Amino acid sequence: MKQKILSFLNKLKTEKGATGADIVVALSIIVLTVAVISMIYVNVNNDSKNVNRTAGATRIATNILENINIMLYDELNNTLNSFATNASTGWAVENITNGKKITLDGKVKGTEKIFNTKIPKGYTVELISENIYGADTNPKFDLMKKITVTVKFTVAKAEENVSLYASKEREILKEVNEPETSKLTISSGQAYVPIRYSKAQEAYLVVDENSNDWYNYLNKSWAMVYVDTEANINSIKAAGKLTEAQKNDNSKIYYWIPRFSDSGQALYGASKHPIEYKTLTAETGSQTMTILTPSTTEVAPENNYFNANTVNGLWVKKSELTTNAVAKEFNLSKFGPVQY
């Protein structure tokens, strides 16, 4: 090929010039070269578009799942139930086994958001929500969902898609935020041990942090720990209870004061959502179960210790029960007065 081009150029320098055949060959070479370059450009361009579109689809799917993750379970249910079945609103809604499928084309109907995520033109989002039940679960309660988000798009007339999924569990809580022993203020060389008061034995007994017997705020029995030197804590653990002197040392017994509102409602985490009872009805049959879960409503903004510090609770010495403003107020709520 190279020799032909050189020969052609040499002939152009002669008086005879190039023949018709030479010109045809040269033009063919030029056309072929242009075609190859064009094809390479198109392929590179399509690959670049595919990468960009895939990145965009991944961003959309990820953002939707992240927004769902920060929602309460009942907020998710309310949102899913709020999607209109009328196609004129921009949504295509289909009831499927144990769930629902929602489809939205970006900006086709002007409704370009789903779970607070913008859907640009050229993308189609398909969100499937399915209730998950154990293989042998009966009755079936709405306690967990699988959320699958598929974002579809077209590149060079070929349909592509990105699909991501995540699970969402219903919040099943205790009557208050669980004690956070990691937030105890302990000096070097000190340790703690969880304790509970036994009325039958008239003693403070050592208890496991994960035990259901540690506390019961509805019965006004608060979570307690005893803080002392590591040596003394080891002795207490070995004995299984506090000594007479130790149980009267109110400066070393700490109460967990969980986050609560000014009206005395226990609040979920660091949020403004009260913890409330909710009765669930089985998906099949008439069985019910009652759980403690966050309310979808919020208490009004309050200027208190918990909001100022964004904490789930705090530890207060027993000796400060009547002087610490937060503990004093909690002791006047429905969870007080503390019994032990």
Closest CA to 146 of 185, 191, 99: 99
Read off the pLDDT band of 45 (50, 70, 90): very low
pLDDT tens readout for residues 50-61: 678 899 999 999
- Residue-averaged pLDDT of the chain: 86
Side chain identity at residue 233, one-letter code? I
Distance CA 168, CA 147 (A): 7
40 has pLDDT over 50: no
The share of the chain scoring above pLDDT 70, in percent, equals 81
243 Cβ contact list (under 8 Å, min separation 6): none
pLDDT tens readout for residues 99-127: 999 998 876 655 568 899 988 888 999 99
Q: Which pLDDT belongs to residue 310? A: 87
28 has pLDDT over 60: no
Domain spans of the chain?
A: 1-170, 181-331
pLDDT tens readout for residues 327-340: 999 999 999 999 99
17 has pLDDT over 60: no
20 has pLDDT over 80: no
Classify burial at 300, counting beta carbons within 10 Å of its beta carbon; exposed 0-12, middle 13-18, buried 19 or more: exposed
Mean local confidence (pLDDT), 29-57 = 61
Top-confidence residue, 104 or 14: 104
Mean local confidence (pLDDT), 69-96 = 83
Poorest-pLDDT segment among 11-25, 213-227, 231-245: 11-25
Read off the pLDDT band of 221 (50, 70, 90): very high
Query: Residue 141 CB: number of other CB atoms within 10 A?
Result: 18
Mean local confidence (pLDDT), 221-237 = 97
